[in-house]
Amino acid sequence: MGMSLAGPGRLKSDVNMTPMIDVLLVLIIIFMVIAPISPKGLDALIPQSSQGPAEPSDDLVITVRSDKSLRLNREPISAERLYDRLKGILGTSGNRVVFIRGEAGLEFQQIAEVIDIAKGAGAGRIGLMGR
């Protein structure tokens, strides 16, 4: 803060802005360096519109019902058998998509357990479906 005399016997004070601007410029540079250059997240595939006729799908759909039971393509299956069944199906047919559908009222932990089972069985791509 600088002070100067503004005439005989009167003091005049004003704020010296230079140090404050220097501090602000340094803070801006620090935040620019700290900020990530590119955001990190999960890779997502955006659905593309198809121009031709629809092909029959042989994708796998695992449904987690509100009573915590599982269905693999409308067939009831236990969580213990799901791994072996997926391992057998995915082992013979390349890179298929496994879709997981959860009914209303489920906690995400129940869906996450099914995702872990599918990943462990060799599913390369997993999609989540709405009700």
Report pLDDT for 118.
Answer: 87
What burial class does residue 78 get, using C-beta atoms within 10 Å of its C-beta: 0-12 exposed, 13-18 middle, 19+ buried? Answer: exposed
Write the pLDDT tens digit of every residue in 91-108. 766 577 888 888 888 888
Work out the number of other CB atoms within 10 angstroms of the CB of residue 90: 18
Write the pLDDT tens digit of every residue in 46-86. 777 666 554 445 678 889 988 888 988 888 988 889 888 88
Q: What is the DSSP letter of 97?
A: E
Structure tokens at 60: 């796998």
pLDDT band of residue 26 (cuts 50, 70, 90) is very high
**Residue-wise DSSP of 2-34:** EEEE-STT-EEEE---HHHHHHHHHHHHHHHHH
Please give the residue that has the higher pLDDT: either 88 or 4.
88
Report the C-alpha gap between 97 and 86 in whole angstroms.
11
Fold of 60-129: Nucleotidyltransferase; domain 5 (3.30.420)
* Phi, psi torsion values for 94, nearest 5 degrees: 55, -140
Report pLDDT for 22.
Answer: 93
The arithmetic mean of pLDDT across residues 25-53, rounded, is: 75
Domain ranges in the chain are 60-129
